[in-house]
Amino acid sequence: MITNLAHACFTVSDLERALQFYRDGLGLKPAFDFTNEEGRRFGIYLHVGGRNFIELFEGQLAAPAEGQSFRHICLEVDNLEATVQTLQARGIEVGPIKLGRDQSYQAWITDPDGNRIELHQYTPESWQGPHLK
């Protein structure tokens, strides 16, 4: 049945600005582009790791649908302190590192269109531990 989370998709107001954040800032690797008949790129798949991707499409941002419950995406990192230092050196504003209720470390960033992203590092005490392979 369901085996993994394949991708998260965002509409972005400016694809090049979003790429500066996701590709150049976060270091995600482009996988493939979506282009129109004239060859203009209007979307891109970015490889997060494993079998996971973020998909970006340029377009007009719409207000969230009534009752929409999306709050953020969460990206796992191997070393949160080092990741925060790297992102700050690349000009990305990062919130403080905190230990969450789930006993995992977290810090927060926001993309250029206001989408919230949690950076997440598991600990030996993380509640998710028994479910990780």
Does a structural domain hold residue 111?
A: yes
Strands 73-76 and 116-121: parallel
Phi, psi dihedral angles at 70 (to 5 degrees): -60, 130
DSSP secondary structure, 74-116, as one string? EEE-S-HHHHHHHHHHTT---PPPEE-TTS-EEEEEE-TT--E
Range of the domain at 52: 1-60
**Residues 10, 46 contacting (CB under 8 angstroms):** no
pLDDT band at 117 (very low <50, low <70, confident <90, very high): very high
User: How confident is the model over 26-69, as pLDDT tens digits?
Assistant: 999 999 999 999 999 999 999 999 999 999 999 887 666 676 66
**Which of residues 38, 60, 82 is at a domain's end?**
60
- pLDDT at residue 65 in the model: 66
The structure tokens listed for 43 are 């979307």
- Asked if residue 16 belongs to a domain, the reply is yes
Q: What is the CATH number of the domain that holds 51?
A: 3.10.180.10
Q: Is residue 107 part of a domain?
A: yes
Does 77 have pLDDT greater than 80?
A: yes
Is the domain of 76 the same as that of 126? yes
